[in-house]
A and B are shown apart, each in its own frame.
Chain A
Amino acid sequence: MKISFEISDKTLIVKIAGEIDHHTACEVKEAVNEQYTANNCKDIIFDLNGLVFMDSAGIGMLIGRYKQANMNGGEVYAEGISPEIERIFCLSGLNKIIKRCEITDSTEKDSDRKGVLN
């Protein structure tokens, strides 16, 4: 599993490639918490274009991040969900709390991204 971060305004963009299971979910949780707190972020965008596998540990981790952002008045968005991972999202009801967005290019301007989110 590979994780990288980008910060735009007060939005933390988390790019995850590889697989999320119980083992890697713990790593994601710690890394996201550290970046989110250190940079005083509000919203979180998960870029899951490179994610090839996720089990219920990913559900728990995403719900945890949703609670964290919510306490801070923020939202959690996800982008690039494959059809396989979509099934886990539907089954768990994650669809109801994690909003969808589109990031076409990670270098796009903040104003463009805000337009997509709104």
Chain B
Amino acid sequence: MKNEMRLNFAAISENEIFARICASAFVLPLDPKVNDVTDIKTAVSEAVTNAIIHGYADADSDDKFVNMVCRYEDDTLYIEISDNGCGIEDIQLAKKPLYTSKPELERSGMGFTVMEAFMDDIEVISEKGKGTTVKMTKKLKL
């Protein structure tokens, strides 16, 4: 079975719950295991939060949107979360466990670590001043 959905929403923290619930609802036709749903929700929450608090940290405009594409083919789920924000200068550093560019916000620096642990594969594409795209894949236990 093949399916796809695209979502574009304002980069505000209220939409973190909206995004993860949409992603989990999208996989429901596959009758996924509870653990897999939790993993997907958590990984989406991390990526969307990063877009909101890091991608658009210094942006003044009202045109701050996060884009989410979810797609599955048989038992494999692909999720892409992108922003048009400031981009990540050093992706390796950003991925380092416990590293945070915003310690004053009580951030744990575990966002990418959680995405890596809960999904099978994660790819980060980023360009300074242009934005960031996080691509994640997970094979569901159906």
State whether B117 touches A56 (Cβ < 8 A): no
A59 interface residue, CB < 8 Å from B?
Answer: yes
CA distance A25 to B106 in the complex (A): 10
Within 8 A of B (CB), among A80-96: 84, 88, 91-92
Within 8 A of A (CB), among B75-120: 105-111, 113-114, 117
Main secondary structure of the interface of A (DSSP, over half): helix
Q: How would residues 1 to 31 of chain A score, 1 for a CB under 8 Å from any chain B CB and 0 otherwise?
A: 0000000000000000001011101100100
Q: How would residues 46 to 84 of chain A score, 1 for a CB under 8 Å from any chain B CB and 0 otherwise?
A: 000000010111011101100000000000000000001
User: Which residues of chain B have C-beta atoms less than 8 A from A55's C-beta?
Assistant: 42, 45-46, 49, 114
- Given the known A-B contacts A56-B114, A60-B106, A60-B107, are A22 and B35 also in contact in the complex, defined by CB atoms under 8 Å? no
Nearest residue (CB) in A for B117 is: A91
Q: How would residues 33 to 48 of chain B score, 1 for a CB under 8 Å from any chain A CB and 0 otherwise?
A: 0110010011001100
State whether B46 touches A23 (Cβ < 8 A): no
Min CB gap B96→A, angstroms = 14
Q: How would residues 84 to 115 of chain A score, 1 for a CB under 8 Å from any chain B CB and 0 otherwise?
A: 10001001100000000000000000000000
Min CB gap B9→A, angstroms = 13
State whether A21 touches B17 (Cβ < 8 A): yes
State whether B108 touches A21 (Cβ < 8 A): no
State whether B106 touches A29 (Cβ < 8 A): yes
B127 interface residue, CB < 8 Å from A?
Answer: no
State whether A22 touches B52 (Cβ < 8 A): yes
Main secondary structure of the interface of B (DSSP, over half): helix
Min CB gap B37→A, angstroms = 9
B58 interface residue, CB < 8 Å from A?
Answer: no
Task: Tell me how many residues of A have a C-beta within 8 Å of chain B.
Answer: 20
B69 interface residue, CB < 8 Å from A?
Answer: no
- Given the known A-B contacts A21-B16, A21-B45, are A91 and B38 also in contact in the complex, defined by CB atoms under 8 Å? no
- Given the known A-B contacts A53-B41, A55-B42, are A22 and B108 also in contact in the complex, defined by CB atoms under 8 Å? no
Question: A residues engaging B (CB < 8 A)?
Answer: 19, 21-23, 25-26, 29, 53, 55-57, 59-61, 63-64, 84, 88, 91-92
Given contacts A22-B45, A26-B13, 8 further A-B contacts (CB under 8 A): A19-B17, A21-B16, A21-B49, A22-B52, A25-B106, A59-B110, A60-B107, A91-B113
Question: B residues engaging A (CB < 8 A)?
Answer: 13-14, 16-17, 20, 34-35, 38, 41-42, 45-46, 49, 52-53, 105-111, 113-114, 117
